[in-house]
Amino acid sequence: MTLLQWTILLLVAVVAPGVVLSRDPKEQVVTLSFYGLLCGLMFFIFQAPDVALSQITIGAVMLPLMIMLALTKMRRQNIRRKREAKR
Amino acid sequence: MSSRSRVVLFLVSAAGLAAIFAWGFRDLPPMGDYRGPYGYALTQVAVYERHATDVVNAINYDYRGFDTLEEEFILFASVMGVLLIFRPAKGGKGDDDEKKKRQTQIDDDLPISDSLRVSMQGMAGIMIVFGVYIAAHGQLTPGGGFQGGVILASVPLVVYLSGNWRAFEQIISNPLVKIAECGGAAGYAVIGISALFFGAHFLTNIVPLGVTGDPFSAGTIALISLSVGAEVTGGFVLLMHVYLQEIIEERLGKKS
């Protein structure tokens, strides 16, 4: 294995616990997105450009986006419920 | 269970896992060692048989096209499931109620910076071209319908970030989105079934293969890549629509 491959494997190994250790869902989305980007880079360095493209589009863009949208939806539902309870 | 016994339990099971892990790693073949004959055989014949220079997509959309068909319908079914859960409730509340809700909820709007607005509006056009390129060149270069579709689906989001909510609303509520979703999913199956009329098996590559390296080569691989692209674009834009529907309606002050 080359130095580049070792470096990216090490980076993925360092960032992965970072995703788990960030407790706030909003922080987690950002770290997850960064982790997805690193995974895509790893697939690219290991000569799998097809998988790298899928990983970047899904892991770094769509998955964090869907989590964000779901969090927004939940937050708004909570606001509405509180307002209805006040009335 | 006390915290001390919990730590002991963790250490014992972690040691066990580490032992099994080390045992499994001992006889692992070296990196890059591939013993299956199938991969070597396909990389040898794919360019001659299918005129596709991207062997990964030749496998995805042709040699193992049936598996990809299933995967596409898994995505289709899950998008339909989300749409079913978030369908608009029947019998909305009165108009006064709506107005009150709008006034109280508008306060969490954040102003958009000029740099974000300008850069995002410039990005949209580039992303459309890039997404179509990735989807249409699936048989030639890495990429294909799925990746191109996701890139295309993130274009409306860039428009949303640029603060142009009216344009965003027009894009995501366009009936073409639903047509792309259903047409893309059906297109894959229709391409597969049409092979039956020529006396071939399901999903056989019956379209003329063309010149290797040409954008319109590799027969059904290019067509399937395009239909998957349409389906994935439609699916993700529909998902965005159901999640952001009420926010958009509030921003535009629309009566529902």
Task: State the pTM of this model.
Answer: 0.78
Query: What local confidence, expressed as pLDDT, does residue B94 receive?
Result: 47
Residue A65 makes CB contacts below 8 A (sequence gap 6+) with B154, B157
Contact B247 A76 (CB under 8 A): yes
Which residue, among B145, B165, B163, has the nearest Cα to B235 in the 3D structure?
A: B145
**Tokens, residue A36:** 């997805």
Tell whether A79 lies on the interface with B, counting CB pairs under 8 A: yes
Has residue B252 got a pLDDT over 80?
no
Count of alpha carbons within 13 Å of A85, Cβ hemisphere only? Answer: 6
Alpha helices (H) along chain A: 3-21, 25-45, 49-55, 63-86
R_g of chain B computed on alpha carbons: 25
Q: What would the mean pLDDT of B179-205 be, rounded to a whole number?
A: 83
A5, A57, A74, A87, best to mutate vs chain B, most B CBs in 10 Å? A57
- Cα separation of B87 and A49, whole Å? 38
The 10s digit of each residue's pLDDT in B57-77 is 888 888 888 888 888 899 889
**Tokens, residue B157:** 């989001």
In one letter, which amino acid is B185?
A
Tell whether A66 lies on the interface with B, counting CB pairs under 8 A: yes
The answer to whether the CB of B251 falls within 8 A of the CB of B111 is: no
Name the more confident of B209 and B3: B3
Has residue B209 got a pLDDT over 70?
yes
Has residue B163 got a pLDDT over 80?
no
What residues of A are in contact with residue B157 (Cβ under 8 Å)?
65
Query: What local confidence, expressed as pLDDT, does residue B8 receive?
Result: 93
Tell whether A70 lies on the interface with B, counting CB pairs under 8 A: yes
Q: What would the mean pLDDT of B216-234 be, rounded to a whole number?
A: 85
Tracing tokens 């399901």 back to the chain, one arrives at B202
Tell whether B101 lies on the interface with A, counting CB pairs under 8 A: yes
Query: What local confidence, expressed as pLDDT, does residue B198 receive?
Result: 81
- Cα separation of B127 and B148, whole Å? 10
- Cα separation of B94 and B92, whole Å? 7
Contact B56 A53 (CB under 8 A): no
> Number of structural domains, chain A?
1
Tell whether B151 lies on the interface with A, counting CB pairs under 8 A: yes
Nearest CB to B147; choose among A54, A65, A80: A54
Contact A50 B54 (CB under 8 A): yes
Which residue, among B193, B175, B145, B183, has the nearest Cα to B238 in the 3D structure?
A: B175
DSSP B89: P
Has residue B93 got a pLDDT over 80?
no
Nearest CB to B31; choose among A1, A49, A72: A1
Nearest CB to B239; choose among A50, A66, A83: A66
The 10s digit of each residue's pLDDT in B5-61 is 999 999 999 999 999 999 998 888 887 788 888 888 888 887 777 787 888 888 888
What residues of A are in contact with residue B144 (Cβ under 8 Å)?
50
**Tokens, residue B120:** 């995002």
Contact A53 B142 (CB under 8 A): yes
Q: What is residue A32's three-state secondary structure?
A: helix
Q: What would the mean pLDDT of B206-234 be, rounded to a whole number?
A: 82
Query: What local confidence, expressed as pLDDT, does residue A77 receive?
Result: 78
> Average pLDDT of chain B?
81
| Distance between start and end Cα atoms, chain B | 54
The answer to whether the CB of B165 falls within 8 A of the CB of B251 is: yes
Give the closest-approach CA distance of A50 to chain B in angstroms.
5
**Tokens, residue A70:** 């779901």
Name the more confident of B14 and B114: B14
Nearest CB to A53; choose among B105, B143, B154: B143
What residues of B are in contact with residue A72 (Cβ under 8 Å)?
243, 247
Element (H, E) at B224: helix B220-252
Has residue B120 got a pLDDT over 90?
no
Q: Where are the domains of chain B?
A: 39-87+114-252
pLDDT in tens for each of the 87 residues of chain A? 788 999 999 999 999 998 889 888 888 898 999 999 999 999 999 888 888 988 988 888 888 888 888 888 888 778 878 888 877
Tell whether A69 lies on the interface with B, counting CB pairs under 8 A: yes
Nearest CB to A54; choose among B146, B153, B240: B146
* B255: confidence class by pLDDT, cuts 50, 70, 90: very low
Has residue B130 got a pLDDT over 60?
yes
**Tokens, residue B96:** 């006064």
Domain extent at residue A52: 3-86
